Amino acid sequence: MIKKRYLFMVAMASLGLLTACGNQNERNDSSSEQTVKKTSSLENAKMNVDGLFSDSKHTKLLEGTTYQQIKSVSKEVSKLPASKEKEKLLKDTLTAQKLWPDFINKSNKNNSESTKVSESKANSKSESEKVKSESESAAKKAAQDSESKATSESIQAKEAAKTDEEKTADKLEKNVLFGYLDKSKATEVNSSYYQLKDFDYAHVGIGDHNIIKSVKLDFKDTPLMNKDEAVEYVQSFTADDATKASERDGKSDYFHSNKTGLDYLVRYTTNDDGISLVLIYPKQ
């Protein structure tokens, strides 16, 4: 009887050991799966970011890349757990956004030139007609150049004739001037607020005569790391030589441009990942 009880206790102890080992293996498997999942997400993000560029240094966008692809990859990267790799990928997606305007303009120009060549081949003319057309075009261009020069000289003469008082008034008006909004390149949010089509992160407020009076840059999806990264965006919407002149407070700075002679107030809104909003106004 004692021997049977002893054997039963040994069997139960062995079963408990096997169960504990099984549970530990399950936990190890679960942890391994989570690690593989995180690694897989990071590797996929790296592959997708690399897919936006045509070179390993990420200085040129790959032909055929769309802005929607850039935004999609940016959102994918923003969902990754915090890490140095994530910060690098975020900077790469911001680089892609900065390269986009010149990239799409160049692509459109190339497509336009290609279309012109095709149309020229499809509608070829005789050599005499070609010479005549070129001659007429040259004459028309010369007339346009002459007219443009006369207009320019007329404007310069009017500017030179302005009094100091008129020039001061012009400067005051231009103190709220970032440019005149071309509404064909923007989507109306309301009567005085528009979103730019080429930069969907940029919104502008306008006043009389479509003068742009304020700019809001939204980086909630891909926050900027610090104020230094914000400088390029501030210069894009003010002047390329605009630099920080002084700090207003912890959340805003004053910028100055020697080219325009204007001062700008730049305000920042931050979240846990960095700068999420940049607001630009003329300094009052």
pLDDT digits (tens, 9 = 90+) for 5-53: 554 554 555 545 445 445 555 555 555 555 556 678 889 999 999 999 9
Q: Can you tell me the distance from the alpha carbon of 214 to that of 279, in angstroms, rounded to the nearest whole number? A: 7
Q: How many residues comprise the chain?
A: 284
Q: Report the distance separating Cα 94 and Cα 100, nearest Å.
A: 10
How far apart (Å, rounded) are the C-alpha atoms in residues 40 and 191?
46
Residue type, 226: N
What does the pLDDT read at residue 55? 93
CB 204 within 8 A of CB 182: no
| Contact yes or no for 74/97 (Cβ under 8 A) | yes
Instruction: For 124, list phi and psi in degrees, rounded to 5.
Output: -65, 145
pTM (2 d.p.): 0.40
pLDDT band for position 185 (cuts 50, 70, 90):
confident
- Highest mean pLDDT among 33-47, 89-103, 152-166 belongs to 89-103
Domain borders along the chain are 2-99, 127-161, 183-282
Which of 81, 75, 83 is CA-nearest to residue 222?
A: 75
Position with higher pLDDT, 132 vs 21:
132
The average confidence (pLDDT) of the chain is: 78
In contact, 252 and 122? CB cutoff 8 Å:
no
Alpha carbons 53 and 107: distance in angstroms, whole number:
15
pLDDT at 95 over 50: yes
Region 125-131 average pLDDT: 65
